Amino acid sequence: MTALLKHPGYDEERLQRVAEQLPCREVQVGMLLSLMGQPQQYSYPSVFIYGHRASGKSHVMHVLMKELELPHATVSCVECVSVVLLFEQVLLSFFGCDAASLLPRSPSLSDFVRIYRQQCSQSPAKQTRYIVMEKAELLRDTDASLLPALLRLQELVEDNVTVILLSEIIWDKFRPNTGCFEPLLLHFPDYSKGELQQILSQNRHSSYSAEFYSTYINILLGVFYSVCRDLRELRHLAALNFSKFCEPLVEGKVKETDTHKLWKHIEPHLKKAMQTVYLREVSSLQWEQMQQMEEKEAGALRGLSAHTHVELPYYSKFLLIAAYLASYNPARTDKRFFLKHHGKIRKTNFLKKNEKTSNHLLGPKPFPLDRLLAIFYSVVDSRVAPTASIFSQISSLVTLQLLAQVSHDDQLDAPKYKCAVSLEFICAISRTVNFDIVKYLYDFL
Amino acid sequence: MSKRKAKDAHLPIGECITQVQQILRERFCERQLPDRLDGVEAQYKHLLELLRRTAVHGESNSVLIVGPRGGGKTTLLQCVLRDLQEEEEVEKNLLQVHLNGLLQTDDRIALKEITRQLQLENVVGDKVFGSFAENLAFLLEALKKGDRSTSCPVLFVLDEFDLFAHHKNQTLLYTLFDVSQSAQAPIAVVGLTCRLDVLELLEKRVKSRFSHRQIHLLSGLNFAQFLERVQMQLSLPDSFPDNKFAQEWNASVKTLCEDKSVEEVLQRHFNSSKNIRSLHVLLMLCLSRVSVAKPAIKPADLLEASRMCFADSTANMLHGLSILELCLVIAMKHLNDIYEGEPFNLQMVHNEFKKFLQRKSSSIYNFEQPVIMKAFEHLQQLELIRPSTGPRSNPSGKYQLVRLTLDHSQIMEALQKYPQCPTDVKQWAMSAFG
């Protein structure tokens, strides 16, 4: 590790500080530093760094730039809704606010390069200037010439400047049609389980021993590692559930060393956390409150998705049921389901070659309005007049996004719809009107 | 101190390394023009002669330099210009206008840039006044007023020429070529492009005014020349302050290039591209490993750098997926096999995954649908799967049709390298069902 920290041109004390802040990233930092070279030397025009979310891309860049006090501009492409903001940010951090104010009202790349050159001739770079672009994948959606121009910015402005792009997506998906100046690719690998354990164990609670906390992290990783490797997510979960883990200790039931009992206590709790707080069904605040309320079992609180129950008028419910049936049943089977004098239904007779996979796998099919109304009259017991209110209920179901209008070409004449609700939802609805929907569904025959 | 003495002076090793880094970095970042050009002598002569005729005799010319990316088009032009500038007559006579298709994205901006670079009368300081029409009329007037004998020749360099052809009506190109055809101020238009079909992009009237002179820079390098180029790129110039170090360095570079394993690596690079710029990336990576403790490039450095260059980035990303995400990818692979590349949705993937779980007795992977959905969305964010074309009609993501952007072999390879991959998952991926 110390060998990696010997980079001429940089202060050794500062390098030491950098190394302390970047655990498990020694190889990458060493690589980056040696590529950057000494501050006054030229660095490669563009470097593209890719890696999974929370693999320390931005953090490494941030710490390096800050600790080594290199001239840099950090730009997040999410914030830059227009290129103006990007140009302003870069000019501001390199040359001060006077330069940024030189930009005309709607600047083009040409203006930016002109002002940059102008400023640069007044204050030439003594050190390599770095432009760090976070979330670089969004650059693809902006002006087509922006990305190629940034990649060869060093040549365009004739200054010692390096553009560093950070992204989750691989470079192959960035390359423009006619090609561009190829950047230097650098990969930040994911943290292994051991490294995650090491990093997570660092921010331990001061009132407990290090081994105790690392046991906790170990258990946490045991539950979550197969699903989630995102360091930030894991850190958040670790912080949320630690108080629950300590509970038996506070009550004096077990000792710190009794790992098995601790595990038994926390494991179901963590499993529940995966279904609730990991999916943001229950917010972190609610989860913490729940942990404090002893008597209430965790997860008894209804999550976000449990709030899908909606109150609908009587006919709307039937309209929705009819729409669901129309969406998930093939039209050929309507006669057998909804006419009075039908024979025995045998599924094998119906099966066509392309219908082997059920509709619940393929998703809802569109249906015309006529079919919806026909099924509606058949499933509603009483006589219903086709009044304006029925039709307005259909369109209000569309605005509630329970139905979706498929083709927008014709508003009045023969519109087509799709049902956009799930099976659980429609089952709940049909239960309230005492309608057995499963009996009518072709897939469950 | 005499010159000879300065040459013989020994610098401390740290100083030498710094110098080496400085010189080679500038070379690899293409911040420095080479002293002589290799392999393009004919093109060089042609272009130099052409531009001299414009600069000295006031002949109007137009030429396109066509070649692949990183093929040395800009270097060629800049070398020609540098050598042209050395002639006294040219230096005080020739005006240059440099435009880039990436920066001057439409004619209005380009026109302003031309006016600015020519420092015409409607420029005050750095600002250009007047509307587009006024500017154009003004520029045309200024060019028309001149003739062969009295006015200064102007050289227009259009980098990324193909992008100028996408401007509306190609007004700028038409104007420039028209001036170069008629007896107005002498101008030379030099276009640089990497598109071989660039003439097809031009409008008929523009094309007819272009002289159809093209200089092709297609690399006809063979491997022996390529090796020579590598050695040349790495060697230090004679002007290096510490003569002894430079000699040692050059000798070590020579032995490096003769090494068998190095030759193999370079052959691999040569086979994938003859491009000098991609070679620069490789050499830059090598150079970054040179330090005071290790003051020469070893074959191992080159091997390591080449490994980095050839690393498959998709495989790197697959390595970092969680087990659940990997299982979904395998399920998608099976779906691709069964339904022959038809698009699929989350439901089908989940169904396939459930089938795997049913066949297996233990149920450690029994995840809820929302957890699987989250993993699926993560895959979508990484663009390992992309929505299949067609309108996105249903608002819920469950039934959206997607396609896998991975290859069969990529998945299998990633699976082999995956750390602590469960055996049953591996077997499931291997099993040729469907």
Tell me which chain A residues have a C-beta less than 8 angstroms from the C-beta of B74.
155
> What pairing do the DSSP bridges indicate for beta strands A403-405 and A416-419?
antiparallel
Q: What is the largest CA-CA distance in chain A?
A: 92
Residue range B62-80, pLDDT digits in tens: 999 999 998 889 999 999 9
Q: Nearest Cα to B161, choosing from B127, B199, B114, B131?
A: B199
| Cβ–Cβ gap B284/A171 under 8 Å | no
Partner residue facing A38 (CB), from B18, B383, B419: B18
| Cβ–Cβ gap B371/A187 under 8 Å | no
| Residue A183 pLDDT grade (very low, low, confident, very high; cuts 50, 70, 90) | very high
| Cβ–Cβ gap B17/A8 under 8 Å | yes
Residues in chain B: 434
In chain B, which residue's Cα lies nearest the Cα of A9? B18
**Interface list for A 303-332 with B (CB within 8 A):** 305
How many beta carbons lie within 10 A of that of residue A276, not counting itself? 21
Average pLDDT over all residues of chain B: 86
Residue range A344-358, pLDDT digits in tens: 655 555 555 455 567
Partner residue facing A8 (CB), from B18, B348, B419: B18
Task: Tell which phi-psi region holds residue A409, choosing left (phi > 0), alpha (psi between -120 and 50) or beta.
Answer: alpha
| Residue B2 pLDDT grade (very low, low, confident, very high; cuts 50, 70, 90) | very low
How many beta carbons lie within 10 A of that of residue A345, not counting itself? 12
| Residue B8 pLDDT grade (very low, low, confident, very high; cuts 50, 70, 90) | low
Tell me which chain B residues have a C-beta less than 8 angstroms from the C-beta of A109.
102-103, 105
**Contact between residue A445 and residue A349 where contact means Cβ atoms under 8 Å apart:** no
Output the pLDDT for position A276.
85
Residue range A242-253, pLDDT digits in tens: 988 888 888 888
User: Which of A50, A52, A405, A423 should be substituted to probe chain B, the one whose Cβ sees the most B Cβ atoms within 10 Å?
Assistant: A52
In chain A, which residue's Cα lies nearest the Cα of B391? A406
Q: Which of A154-168, A197-211, A231-245, A345-359 is the least confident region? A: A345-359
Percent of chain A with pLDDT over 70: 91
Distance CA B63, CA B114 (A): 19
Output the pLDDT for position B394.
47
Six token digits for residue B158: 């259009």
Output the pLDDT for position B179.
87
Which ranges of A123-229 would DSSP assign to H, the alpha helix? 146-151, 153-157, 193-202, 210-224
Partner residue facing B322 (CB), from A50, A143, A229: A229
| Cβ–Cβ gap A35/B100 under 8 Å | no
Average pLDDT over all residues of chain A: 87
**Interface list for B 39-68 with A (CB within 8 A):** none
Q: Nearest Cα to B429, choosing from B332, B318, B359?
A: B332
Output the pLDDT for position B395.
47
In chain A, which residue's Cα lies nearest the Cα of B325? A227
pLDDT average, residue stretch A293-299: 57
**Contact between residue A323 and residue A372 where contact means Cβ atoms under 8 Å apart:** yes
More confident residue, B274 or B432: B274
**Interface list for B 200-229 with A (CB within 8 A):** none
Output the pLDDT for position A300.
60
User: How many CA atoms lie less than 13 Å away from B217 in the CB half-sphere?
Assistant: 30
In chain B, which residue's Cα lies nearest the Cα of A49? B313
Output the pLDDT for position A62.
95
pLDDT average, residue stretch B297-301: 90
| Residue B1 pLDDT grade (very low, low, confident, very high; cuts 50, 70, 90) | very low
User: How many CA atoms lie less than 13 Å away from A108 in the CB half-sphere?
Assistant: 16
Residue range A3-48, pLDDT digits in tens: 556 777 888 888 888 888 888 999 999 999 999 988 888 999 999 9
| Cβ–Cβ gap B17/A155 under 8 Å | no
Output the pLDDT for position B218.
84
For residues A324-337, b (16+ Cβ closer than 10 Å) or e, as one string?
bbbbbbeeebbebb
**Contact between residue A338 and residue A375 where contact means Cβ atoms under 8 Å apart:** yes
Tell me which chain B residues have a C-beta less than 8 angstroms from the C-beta of A44.
28-29, 281, 284
User: Which of A15, A29, A108, A138 should be substituted to probe chain B, the one whose Cβ sees the most B Cβ atoms within 10 Å?
Assistant: A108
Output the pLDDT for position A344.
60
Tell me which chain B residues have a C-beta less than 8 angstroms from the C-beta of A324.
none
pLDDT average, residue stretch B237-241: 87
Output the pLDDT for position B5.
43
Partner residue facing A190 (CB), from B277, B320, B323: B320
For chains A and B, what is the number of CB pairs under 8 angstroms? 178
Residue carrying the six token digits 């200037």 = A129
By the 10 Å C-beta count (0-12 exposed, 13-18 middle, 19+ buried), B414 is classed as buried
| Residue B129 DSSP SS3 | coil
Residue range A105-118, pLDDT digits in tens: 888 999 999 999 99
Output the pLDDT for position B158.
95
Partner residue facing A182 (CB), from B281, B367, B396: B281
CA distance B60 to chain A (A): 27
Tell me which chain A residues have a C-beta less than 8 angstroms from the C-beta of B395.
401, 404, 420
pLDDT average, residue stretch A166-179: 92
B284 close contact with A: CB closer than 8 A: yes
Partner residue facing A185 (CB), from B28, B102, B313: B313
Output the pLDDT for position A138.
93
Kindly tell me if the per-residue pLDDT of A295 is higher than 60: no
pLDDT average, residue stretch B101-112: 90
**What is the C-alpha radius of gyration for chain B, rounded to an integer number of angstroms?**
30
CA distance A375 to chain B (A): 22
More confident residue, B31 or A130: A130
Output the pLDDT for position B211.
92
In chain B, which residue's Cα lies nearest the Cα of A112? B103
Output the pLDDT for position A349.
54
Tell me which chain A residues have a C-beta less than 8 angstroms from the C-beta of B292.
6, 8
Output the pLDDT for position B302.
92
Q: What is the pTM of this model?
A: 0.91
Output the pLDDT for position A190.
92
| Cβ–Cβ gap A226/B374 under 8 Å | no
| Cβ–Cβ gap A420/B396 under 8 Å | yes
Evaluate whether ipTM surpasses 0.85.
yes
Distance CA A169, CA A50 (A): 7
A39 close contact with B: CB closer than 8 A: no
> What pairing do the DSSP bridges indicate for beta strands B187-193 and B61-66?
parallel
Kindly tell me if the per-residue pLDDT of A166 is higher than 60: yes
Residue range B139-171, pLDDT digits in tens: 878 777 766 667 788 899 999 999 999 999 998
**Contact between residue A396 and residue A310 where contact means Cβ atoms under 8 Å apart:** no
More confident residue, B149 or A282: A282
Q: Nearest Cα to B190, choosing from B56, B29, B43?
A: B43
Distance CA B58, CA B56 (A): 6
CA distance A398 to chain B (A): 12
Kindly tell me if the per-residue pLDDT of A2 is higher than 60: no
Kindly tell me if the per-residue pLDDT of B401 is higher than 80: yes
Q: Which of A149-158, B5-14, B301-310 is the least confident region? A: B5-14
| Residue B4 pLDDT grade (very low, low, confident, very high; cuts 50, 70, 90) | very low
For residues B182-219, b (16+ Cβ closer than 10 Å) or e, as one string?
eebbbbbbbbbbbbeebbebbeeebeebbeeeebebeb
- CA A112 to chain CA mean position, Å: 33
Tell me which chain B residues have a C-beta less than 8 angstroms from the C-beta of A4.
none
